[in-house]
Amino acid sequence: MKYLFIILTVFITKISLAQYKDTLLPINGTSIFIREIGKGSPIIIVHGGPGLNHSYFLPHLNSLAKKNRLIFYDQRACGNSSGMLDSTQMSLSLFVEDIEEIRKNLKLGKVAILAHSWGGLVAMNYASKYSQNISALILSNSVSPKFGEFEKETNQRLKLRVPVEDSILRSEILKSAEFKSGNLQSYTNLFKLSFKPSFYYGSSLEKMKLILPADFLAKRKILFFMSKELSAYDFYDNLKKISCPVLVIHGGYDGMPLELSQKIQNHITGAKLTIIEDAGHFTFIDNPKKYNAIVYKFLNQ
């Protein structure tokens, strides 16, 4: 079936390098929010979560738009994408097919995929099925292809970085009337406080742009339809099917250990691993100049 574009909003925002174009694209029984910037070889960018959206990538990846067409999108039931979904419309396989439909509907041909954190799980599964459609795959601080792997080590490392005052503040937020009533600013404050130990530079947290949609809590409930599927999986065997060029980027200060990134690299034939020592889980926020230079170099090889 041939889908038509529905323009939700098309506006121009002057930023340092390019202009944004926003679109709501009907695919696979839902509507997916797309934000584009730049021209050139396409890169589809897959955000983390599940439940976050593309906003935290901006403006940190904008310099890539000098020579590339960046396609950010909000995953189903996330951000500005539709939340009108039921349990049959929430599965990892549909998250994978959404990437393919974006590629086909935008007539992108071969695309590079840049995926962060939970987005890495989606991207690895996409690449294991559609490697022929990928010019390059970049896994940035990806979660493990196996449920629960390195979770204990990660939590221990992050816990040691949390000062007492932040623990108290977290407790105060959770007990507050604003949080209990669903105040979005309270949730944003909680998320940022939770992300704080994942940054190498203390100033990076303030540079993180995180915009939650008005219906965030309703969409959060929809994401729980995936709880069973996301509580028992092991996709390491799938990695053997990936045949496109792959770069694994690891932040030296990430809560997730280097062993995880090394294990992912070792399971993908020909994959390369780059470590950015002075960066945490959000490498492109802690050190955007170095991060984008690494991505450019890899894409141009």
Task: CATH number of the domain at 225, please.
Answer: 3.40.50.1820
Looking up tokens 């009337």 gives 177
Does the residue 176 lie in any domain?
Answer: no
Q: Is residue 282 part of a domain?
A: yes
Is the confidence at residue 86, as pLDDT, over 90?
yes
Residue 193 maps to a domain: no
Asked if residues 103 and 110 have their Cβ atoms less than 8 Å apart, the reply is no
> Model confidence over 158-215: pLDDT tens digits?
999 999 999 999 999 999 999 999 999 999 999 999 999 999 999 999 999 999 999 9
Q: What is the pTM of this model?
A: 0.92
Number of domains in the chain: 1
Residue-number span of the structural domain to which 271 is assigned: 20-150+212-300
Q: Where are the alpha helices (DSSP H) in the chain?
A: 92-105, 118-130, 151-159, 164-175, 177-180, 184-195, 216-223, 258-267, 283-286, 288-300
d(CA 105, CA 103): 6
Residue 101 within a domain = yes
Name the amino acid, one letter, at 249. Answer: I
Q: How confident is the model at residue 19 (pLDDT cuts 50, 70, 90)?
A: confident
Q: What is the pLDDT of residue 197?
A: 97
- Kind of pairing between the strands at 20-27 and 30-37: antiparallel
Other CB atoms within a 10 A radius of the CB of residue 14 amount to 8
Amino acid making up residue 148? G
Q: For residue 55, is it within any domain? A: yes
